[in-house]
Structure 1
Amino acid sequence: MLQNYQTSTFYDEMMENAKKARPHYEKFHQILHQMTKEELHEKHETAQLSFLRQGITFTVYHEEGGTERTMPFDLVPIIIPDDQWKDIEAGIKQRVKALNYFLEDVYNGQKILKDNIIPREFVEQNQYYYEEQAAGIVMPHKNHIFLAGIDLIRDDNGVYRVLEDNLRNPSGLSYVFQNRFVMRKVFPEFFFEHAIKTLEHQMLHLHSALLSHIPANAKEQDNPTAVLLTPGMYNSAYYDHVFLAQQMGIELVEGQDLLVKGDVVYMKTMRGLQRVDIIYRRIDDDFIDPKEFREDSALGVAGLMKAVRKENVALVNGVGNGVADDKAIYAFVPDMIRYYLGEEPLLPNVDTYFLSDPEVRKDVLSRLPELVVKNVGASGGYDMLIGPQATEEEIELFKQKIEETPEQYIAQPTIQLSRAPAFQKERFYPCHVDLRVYAIGSDHVHVMPGGLSRVALKEGSLVVNSSQGGGGKDTWVLKESDQYA
């Protein structure tokens, strides 16, 4: 079934060449060859139905008609040997620590700006910088990043690079667990032959980290009440919210379920008001409190920010985190690591060009067909140009956008994203992949083993986002004893 599989040009996660699997994939490769195409197709269909029956969906806002979709699932996992994972884990911890130091600094002393490590205008003109609302807020453990999703890619040399930092409301964690559940249910034979690091206790890490964010003036320091604040069922990541609340055993609430009284947050219950100490919010900053952000917000809680400032409630992830995961600030993260930690970055960035510089802009505009251009404030694969795959009309459109608001865009080289086999429509073909690694922050940083491997299921596409036709794969981190067995 893999005899016509092409491995040239791009680094392939599974295959060294058309006939030989990489050492850590050999057992998987052998088991795969024992299955018929009909068996694989039947199992593939069973997996998709499992997602549908469990209601594992996301919303695509720009589509007409039905917007609810199941996450496309692919049966070929991304397998990471233990020694490679240790390097990834160390690099993620280093990066998240530095980003958290930056957030604490930029909303307090701003030493990094005074020392000219990062140009002041990159912070003060950032659309996600909320100095008035977020400055001076005391965060438990001085931790602004409760949950981070760091997107990694592998280049054509197999080197892991950070593509993007997600520090506001990183989504997709539920799919990590559901991908593993479905994979174990449909393909148990693969798990008999592999020793894989379990996800079994990861929700306990998440729950205990959340409950450690106890504000100074919480009524009960030993038994705090935590809730997950969602925009509601029409949000694209609502399944994520439901899953995480259920798994952590906390209440899922909307803004209308909470009220602020005497600068204290309460949850409305059948037995009356119950005080809330910790809020894991999945609502964007602009909608969190109509008294301080958008006045027309019906999603947030009026007076919430004042309660946060008085340390009566903790809000995680922190308000204003977007200033640290902006695509322009991204280019300075290696400098943050050197500045705050005195270390060299363990995970390199992708080269980034700032289009507000006239000379750089002129060079980029002349090379648009070979570059990737991103809106610094967009996410989910929106408002992005992939030069090698763009039409002349799309390139002209982006030229106009860049010339009108150059500060709103950055450009990067087109990375030869690594690929892995995908089994779709009864055949194997190579698809580009990336990996979102989740880090949990409290008094220390914990990295979940594996993460969400996203795959661009449309042949030739470089966009892995589910909203743009991407899907998911299970991600295995092999235990040390099994990595090259």
Structure 2
Amino acid sequence: MKKTTQLPLFSSYEFNSKFYDELFKENKETREIYKRLFKLFSQYSVTEFNALNNRAKESFFNNGITFQVYNSDQVSEKIFPFDLFPRIINNKEWTTIEKGALQRSKALNHFLWDVYHDQKIIKQGIVPLDLISSSENFLSQMVNLDPPEGIYNHISGTDLIKHSDGNYYVLEDNIRCPSGVSYVVGNRAAVKHALFGVFNKYNAHTVVDYGANLLDIMESVKPKGVDNPVCVIITPGVYNSAYYEHSFLAKQMGIDLVEGRDLFVENDFLYKQTIYGPVKVDVIYRRIDDLFIDPLEFREDSVLGVPGLFSVYKKGNVSLVNAPGTGVADDKAVYTYMPEIIKYYLDEDPILNNVHTYHCSREKELSYVLENIDKLVVKPVDESGGYGISIGNKLTKEEIQKVKETIKANPRKYIAQPIMSLSTHPTYIEESESFEPRHVDLRTFTLLGKDKEFVLKGGLTRVALSKGNLVVNSSQGGGSKDTWVLKK
């Protein structure tokens, strides 16, 4: 590894040819798309940049973009980690990403319809029955139930990495409650606040249109016979880690943010309590997990949902975004069949490739995983947020043995992937007061409705803030960056 430059803000930057560096080429030259931005940042002294960085933090704090940290003694509120050096994606590259994300979302929607209806893909031996029947996220209550306009995954989040070969690969699909879009908009506001002049010169697509498009999607799947649907977002409450996002999106769309206690069922319809009396609700964007939405149908001990809500949904009198039961399709074991799923339903080859994945329920693949854990990333199929992940080359012999025993106890629950070379991006490290390369990924957001589709032109670039770390999730100490998708 060699130092790239001795400019004040890049004095600690070490170029590593093993990874795709998004700022520098292999000859250590700045990539063309970043030249203007790099020149600007190179001119700042450490003192000047720290002032800019603090201004961006103020923007986050003033807009309430914070998260809560819990420990045994107290609850503290912190600003969501944010890096001021934006990621830039050119129009050609983005076109491929957008088409690929949309392709996957459509294929998954077809898959969900099939799984809960005729199960043709299973009967034809393309996807095994036990993959579905053993899934904790398969809801028998959704069998033969038609969601409004046939849409299950109105909102999808596709996680991508850029590998050392310069190509994008899909790490996973998220179609239960993909989060993070509020940080996309917050990042943009902070960057424009601190770097207004340079942002305008780059001609990037807007990201503030997400709320308007989400509301359009919600209204497009309104119940039959409804002309002007009343839409709401239902949240578990202020102590949920994503509560900021729930409140942010409600404000963006100009709709009410409600909790289960604000809603009630009467005569097969759903109502919200208001100071003017009950108001019928037609569409709910739910940020509550399946099993908690209705204590009469699912978990009896749930105080988050609404008694009788699922009955109203079955009668077609309210629409739920996303539909219950979508989690069966973002199971990481199902991910291993995505090329076949895309081909089966769309008769197309995948635009975005999967990372090669071993599913431990297959005997040969289990043997390979157990023999090569030190070279693999092991993931539980039903977790999110980076929880339960084991990165083989970071483990001790004792830890490897423990992972082996955990896998053997429940092979269906685990997949494994090669340790991918996530691309790196310049990230400001306050301890060294300079930029250093850190690993990043990209979460895209896709919306599907009746005759409507939308992919947010930007997405969320997530950053692993610790040196050498490959886990970028905010729940594991990661941060984020603004993502500029150029118009041309």
TM over 0.5: yes
Please identify, of 38-47 and 292-301, the stretch whose mean Cα deviation from structure 2 is larger.
38-47
SS in 1 for 2:332: coil
Match of 2:249 among 244, 269, 274: 244
Alignment of 1:3-82 (within 5 A): 4-17=13-26, 19-59=28-68, 65-66=74-75, 68-82=77-91
Matched, 1:127 2:142: no
Q: Using a 3 Å threshold, how does the CA distance of structure 1 residues 338 and 255 change in structure 2: closer, same or farther?
A: same
SS in 2 for 1:118: coil
Q: How far apart are residue 23 of structure 1 and its match?
A: 1.4
Please identify, of 171-180 and 69-78, the stretch whose mean Cα deviation from structure 2 is larger.
69-78
Query: Paired residue for 2:147?
Result: 139
Q: Using a 3 Å threshold, how does the CA distance of structure 1 residues 18 and 67 change in structure 2: closer, same or farther?
A: farther
Matched, 1:399 2:379: no
Q: How far apart are the structure 1 equivalents of 2:72 and 2:341?
A: 40
Q: How far apart are residue 62 of structure 1 and its match?
A: 7.4
Query: Paired residue for 2:420?
Result: 415
Deviations along 1:46-75, one digit per CA (max 9) or x if unpaired, are: 222322232212345678643543210001
Q: How far apart are the structure 1 equivalents of 2:288 and 2:79?
A: 22
SS in 2 for 1:78: strand
Match of 1:185 among 163, 179, 193: 193
Match of 1:95 among 104, 127, 141: 104
- Which amino acid letter does the alignment assign opposite residue 434 of structure 1? D
Gaps of 5+ in 1: 481-485
Gaps of 5+ in 2: 1-6
- Which amino acid letter does the alignment assign opposite residue 406 of structure 1? P
Q: How far apart are the structure 1 equivalents of 2:476 and 2:446?
A: 25
Deviations along 1:104-129, one digit per CA (max 9) or x if unpaired, are: 11111111111111001101110000
Alignment of 1:251-290 (within 5 A): 251-290=256-295
- Which amino acid letter does the alignment assign opposite residue 448 of structure 2? G
Matched, 1:439 2:410: no
Equivalent residues of 2:59, 2:193 under 8 A apart: no
Please identify, of 13-22 and 100-109, the stretch whose mean Cα deviation from structure 2 is larger.
13-22
Alignment of 1:295-374 (within 5 A): 295-374=300-379
Q: How far apart are the structure 2 equivalents of 1:192 and 1:102?
A: 42
SS in 1 for 2:144: coil
Q: Percent same amino acid among aligned pairs? A: 46
Matched, 1:194 2:202: yes
Q: How far apart are the structure 2 equivalents of 1:153 and 1:423?
A: 20
Q: How far apart are the structure 1 equivalents of 2:191 and 2:469?
A: 25
Q: How far apart are the structure 2 equivalents of 1:68 and 1:290?
A: 32
Query: Paired residue for 1:476?
Result: 484
Q: Using a 3 Å threshold, how does the CA distance of structure 1 residues 450 and 411 change in structure 2: closer, same or farther?
A: same
Equivalent residues of 1:432, 1:455 under 8 A apart: yes
Deviations along 1:401-460, one digit per CA (max 9) or x if unpaired, are: 111111111111100111101012111111000000000110232111010000001111
Equivalent residues of 1:47, 1:183 under 8 A apart: yes
Equivalent residues of 1:7, 1:15 under 8 A apart: no
Equivalent residues of 1:167, 1:324 under 8 A apart: yes
Number of residues paired by the alignment?
A: 476
SS in 2 for 1:437: strand
Equivalent residues of 1:97, 1:445 under 8 A apart: no
Q: How far apart are the structure 1 equivalents of 2:409 and 2:426?
A: 41
- Which amino acid letter does the alignment assign opposite residue 288 of structure 2? I
RMSD value over aligned CA atoms?
A: 1.5
Equivalent residues of 2:148, 2:316 under 8 A apart: no
Query: Paired residue for 1:155?
Result: 163
Deviations along 1:305-335, one digit per CA (max 9) or x if unpaired, are: 1100100100110100000001100111111
Q: How far apart are the structure 1 equivalents of 2:144 and 2:133?
A: 16
Q: How far apart are the structure 1 equivalents of 2:73 and 2:18?
A: 37
Q: How far apart are residue 33 of structure 1 and its match?
A: 1.6
Equivalent residues of 1:52, 1:70 under 8 A apart: yes
Match of 1:172 among 176, 180, 185: 180
Equivalent residues of 2:235, 2:288 under 8 A apart: yes
Equivalent residues of 1:60, 1:236 under 8 A apart: no
Match of 2:92 among 76, 83, 90: 83
- Which amino acid letter does the alignment assign opposite residue 436 of structure 1? R
- Which amino acid letter does the alignment assign opposite residue 123 of structure 1? I
Equivalent residues of 1:137, 1:308 under 8 A apart: no
Q: TM-score, normalised by structure 1?
A: 0.95
- Which amino acid letter does the alignment assign opposite residue 89 of structure 1? E
Q: How far apart are the structure 1 equivalents of 2:74 and 2:392?
A: 30
Equivalent residues of 1:59, 1:235 under 8 A apart: no
Query: Paired residue for 2:216?
Result: 208
Q: How far apart are the structure 1 equivalents of 2:214 and 2:364?
A: 46
Q: How far apart are residue 40 of structure 1 and its match?
A: 1.2
Deviations along 1:116-144, one digit per CA (max 9) or x if unpaired, are: 1100110111000002x112222222111
Q: How far apart are residue 392 of structure 1 and its match?
A: 2.9
